[in-house]
Chains A and B, each alone.
Chain A
Amino acid sequence: MAYPQDRRYTKSHEWVLIEGDIATIGITQYAQEQLGDVVFVELPTVGAAVTRDGAMGNIESVKAVSEVFAPVAGEVIEVNAALEARPELLNTDPHGDGWLVRVRVAPGSDEGLMTAAEYETFLAEEGAH
């Protein structure tokens, strides 16, 4: 698939959409396919600090639990409350309604992320479909 070009990607399959100094973070279509049906999402609390590549939550499916790693550093300003009642949003709309958290970005902490094209290449090399 063609990944949205308005955002950046990590090797651990997170996406980050930066608008000004606010970053919206989620997991990619590939990630949700690998996970299977999501049953529960554990997110950091508002106000928590996240570090670049640090763990910032878990996504639980029937067959696996996956950690989510922060693509940027900063402070959590909002979490997606809809996921509590409807974790399946991560499967149906991982790039849209299935967003995880919004973070106020620490300047410079968004270096070295992949573009959509780079992420697609990365997936192809990993043998993903």
Chain B
Amino acid sequence: MSAGEDRRRREGVIFERSSPGRVGYQLPPLEVPPADISRTLAGVAVRGEIEDLPEVSEVDVLRHFHRLSQLNYSVDEGLYPLGSCTMKYNPRINEELARLPGLAQLHPYQPEEQVQGALALMWELEQALVAITGMARVTLQPAAGAHGELTGMLMVRAACKDRNTPRGTVLIPDSAHGTNPATAVFAGFKVVELASTSAGTLDLEALSRHLEGGDVAALMVTVPNTLGVFEPEIARAAAMLHEKGAFLYIDGANLNAFVGIAQAGAMGADVMHINLHKTFSTPHGGGGPGAGPVAVSAALEEYLPVPTVERVGDRFMLSFARPKSIGKVRGYYGNFGMLVRALAYIRSLGRDGLKAMAEGAVLNANYLRKGLEADYHLPYQGSSLHEVVFDDSRQTPAGVKNVDIAKRLLDYGFHPPTMSFPLIVHGALMIEPTESDGIDELDAFVAAMRSIAQECRDNPELVRSAPHTTPVRRLDEVRAARSPVLRWRRRT
């Protein structure tokens, strides 16, 4: 190994650290007699030791995963401006509280008298989310945003069937995230895509035309939309939908822009999912777990998943008494561990802090918009709320695409913005800074982006071949897809 070579970059997989006889655990001594499995498991297909499981010591495991951690960029390190993801600070007090034995060491089937605190916590969170959204009730069951979307659309479907007005179509703007049409189809609907206006917003004429057909169950729309622009006609759209017996689904991914400023209930929303791992600070965890509670208007209450948490006097209970419920969408009651974190966050911020949070998010996004608009093209000119979408059209003449700009940002020590979404913007760069970042961090980001824009003019090849300084450089994704290797195997 050459001097200075970064040892963490050479960290193999844990199986490659294995050495016979190493041990990473110790169980308490068995005080009961060992079982004679030839008798207790007679006739049962048993297995021996699993050959290729590793044998490593506790220190091996520590060093291995420590080294891996050093290869990651994270919110803890700096700005993570992924549009639509709301990569804000994950408060450590939430981690401490979620780990309290009285919250973490609870079995979902303990009798209600043993878990009154847990039920109370869920009830409190529901009340808080009702206060924030202005809607009637909230289910805490879904495990993620997309899961919440499906839950919401299953409720819409149930409502349509219940009213004897089976509707087969869901309208979705072309700017929507892919989860929206995927969810609608999953829930048994046909999707009709609505072209956005030239301003990137909802086309009410098109909406009206489709509603004439009488087959529309719902409109699914993100507010503010995926360009970070508020839908000015959202209340009118809601009225049009309700007049035709259709529902308004609001995708709550961008809720960080308007907590304490506006409420989905007032907009006329019938159903809205909330991403606790976005707006309410629960950690992204490298891909989960999240939580996707769904708020509903009174019109959809009957269809909520069971059980709900109900309060009778000072007692809390799990209620399955909802004959028109869509049923269960996952095992047990919800990602309780994430619910704890979200409630702690809402309590920490309070009504004043939550409003300041939304203001901070919008301030920061507008600051970045101002700082970047000299160098990057802004395809839509509407007022930005908490995120802003640029495109790469000023850089493509030099042969540089948004992906290249993203990779070059890695060399500057930032995580890139979201790429290539929404689909209505070719070469999109969707930037969402969140309220967590101070002006110094934003200035550093703007400086990096301006420097890259300059490089696109002076030395585009440097940008096209980025990144240069990361633990690995650009990876062959084509090879990974053509010849997938999805697990380690011992070389024989």
Q: What total of A-B pairs shows CB separation below 8 Å?
A: 12
Q: How many residues of A contact B (CB 8 A)?
A: 7
A40 to B477, CA, bound (A): 13
Q: How many residues of B contact A (CB 8 A)?
A: 4
User: Is B42 close to A, CB under 8 A?
Assistant: no
Contacts of B481 in A (CB 8 A): 39-40, 60, 62
Contacts of B482 in A (CB 8 A): 39-40, 87-88
**B437-483 interface with A by 8 A CB criterion:** 477-478, 481-482
A interface secondary structure, majority: loop
B interface secondary structure, majority: helix
Q: How far does the Cβ of B313 sit from chain A's closest Cβ, in whole Å? A: 55
Q: Return the CB mask of A29-58 against B: 1 if under 8 Å, else 0.
A: 000000001011000000000000000000
Contacts of A88 in B (CB 8 A): 482
Q: How far does the Cβ of B426 sit from chain A's closest Cβ, in whole Å? A: 10
CB closest residue in chain A, given B426: A127
A107 to B482, CA, bound (A): 38
A60 to B481, CA, bound (A): 9
A37 to B476, CA, bound (A): 11
A51 to B481, CA, bound (A): 30
A37 to B477, CA, bound (A): 9
Contacts of A62 in B (CB 8 A): 477-478, 481
A87 to B482, CA, bound (A): 8
Q: How far does the Cβ of A96 sit from chain B's closest Cβ, in whole Å? A: 20
Contacts of B478 in A (CB 8 A): 37, 39, 62
Q: How far does the Cβ of A88 sit from chain B's closest Cβ, in whole Å? A: 8
Q: How far does the Cβ of B416 sit from chain A's closest Cβ, in whole Å? A: 16
A113 to B477, CA, bound (A): 36
A33 to B482, CA, bound (A): 18
CB closest residue in chain A, given B484: A39
CB closest residue in chain B, given A60: B481
CB closest residue in chain A, given B420: A63
List 6 contacting pairs A-B, 8 Å CB cutoff, sorted by A.
A39-B481, A39-B482, A40-B481, A40-B482, A62-B477, A88-B482
Given contacts A39-B478, A62-B481, 10 further A-B contacts (CB under 8 A): A37-B478, A39-B481, A39-B482, A40-B481, A40-B482, A60-B481, A62-B477, A62-B478, A87-B482, A88-B482
